[in-house]
Chain A
């Protein structure tokens, strides 16, 4: 792994001064304070959403008609919603779905996009032309449109579950990934180590899997990190339109917007899910940007 990404001028650098690109990138990431804050926040949010509800035995579903729409108090930290459910529990458990959909759909889109882009970029020529035409065609369709149509293909009973949503989002989000990876592979395939592998008789799939993709790992990681917030936003759009997963941040915000009125403001209903959603998107974006700056040597001059 270490020798693969090292560039041609590694030859004139003395051996003891040499650092691999990966170490170099890690150093640059450590200097980027905002990216570190983002990473720490992500860990905190993940812990809060996945560990706290089980540890404290929080219950997001039991209704309590006596305690409807209570503002935050010592008993209900985040208040209660219009059916008297504990909002603290709902926000954290809702975060589980939002984050799960975000990461799962990203994984699906990374998987499809990376292989599609790598094949198109590696074989090039007419294969590339034809494969990229399909991407162009899908780009011409508003992606929300595709997502809604795909969502409708699942029966009414499956609506509200996570699987259809992340399938639909993953199927739409791979386009960017495919484009980025294709561009990366187009430059990688002309490098000497690929030529060497080909001369040694390695097959196309083998070269892609063992030589090209490990070298594109940085780019894949960066775009995956930036895809997660995009997917979370899309999911919240769907929930807002009533087509998404039940009990997610998007749905909570949608419910809160529904009860906005001039006489009494139920501010906590809007504040908490928005805050968590915003913090998650904020830190993922910063982490992604930091990773990009760290892996892209051009950013050094800025």
Chain B
């Protein structure tokens, strides 16, 4: 009952950010941002860095950030808190708990363990313990299942792995997708069009673990060019990144194709052609920007999807990324690991969406006014 009310109140706070006027947003958002930067900076590099980051970031946001960004930040902080609370509730509702193993038969031992790891029996109490830990101490807490390690120590080395695979996959998806899509869109119903759309078909109709398995069989087992799995040099990066990228490359190609088709029929292209510009300059300078628009707006969902896909791809290729920690944490009921990864994932997605929004406004002058 109390839990339902708390969630409701949290949601009312989130919803009320819709009413934030320009002035209150300009004050509230930099404050919230400064708070987040302070906590993050202090946890990573000590007190002084935290203060510098907070003051600098807050001032930057106050003086330079457009209103839309400010609203987004004001929305982000309460949603993160609500996310932590709901995730806690859901985890506590799940049957079993981190101390349900056979070693802990004695209730007294369990009590001692709960006290040691800061995991009370009640979900709301755990939420307060966790928030206190997060805000006041600036840590993600100890892992319950991996003895003697904190969540930062587990996720810290995994984060660059996941991010490098994810970014490479995103870049590959854009590069492959745009090339195929623009080529197909410039000559509709040609051989190039049919060829690239057939490739796109494979990307869309095969789940990425099937593509990954095919890659392993062909490139690692038959040809022996690349390592089967694991993590080490750049050679371990290639197959996971391509596997993650292909479905999204397919979508990007389709979007780029229809975008190009639409742009090439516009009046400004006819003007450019009429004044005698060479074809490749028309394409590169005038058409590409227009055909990029639908692709850019797809990048937000694509990034979220690539993260989701990373759970599967990391499992398939045995890559030590944060997706694996999340899945392991969820199955083992390692509450602090689950919450830590949840915070990182949502933070990544939200900030990426913000960047995409800004890029969209920069590309499309019609949207720029609404910022």
Contacts and interface: CB of A to CB of B under 8 A. Distances in A.
A237 interface: yes
B17 A133 contact: yes
Contacts of A150: 90
B206 A237 contact: no
Nearest to B315: A241
Contacts of B349: 140-142
Given A149-B330, A265-B217, A133 B90 contact: no
B205 A257 contact: no
Nearest to A234: B308
B207 interface: yes
B342 to A, nearest CB: 6
B346 A142 contact: yes
Given A130-B18, A133-B18, A265-B217, A142 B304 contact: yes
B205 A278 contact: yes
Interface string A240-252: 1100000000100
Contact of B201 (A262, A282, A301): A282
B345 A152 contact: no
A35 interface: no
Measured as residues with beta carbon below 8 angstroms from the partner, the interface class of chain B is 35 or more
A270 B205 contact: no
Contacts of B15: 129-130, 133-134
Contacts of B18: 126, 129-130, 133
B221 A145 contact: no
Interface string B75-102: 1100100110001001101111000000
Interface residues of A, number: 45
B94 A152 contact: yes
A302 B11 CA distance: 44
A140 B350 contact: yes
Contacts of A285: 204-205
B255 interface: no
Interface of A: 126, 129-130, 133-134, 136-137, 139-145, 148-150, 152-153, 155-156, 233, 236-237, 240-241, 250, 253-254, 256-257, 260-262, 265, 270, 274, 277-279, 281-282, 285, 301-302
Interface of B: 11, 14-15, 17-19, 75-76, 79, 82-83, 87, 90-91, 93-96, 188, 201, 204-207, 209-210, 212-213, 216-217, 221, 258, 261, 265, 304, 307-309, 311-312, 315-316, 326-327, 330-331, 333, 338, 342, 345-346, 349-350, 353
11 contacts: A126-B18, A133-B11, A133-B75, A142-B304, A237-B207, A253-B210, A257-B209, A270-B217, A274-B213, A282-B204, A285-B204
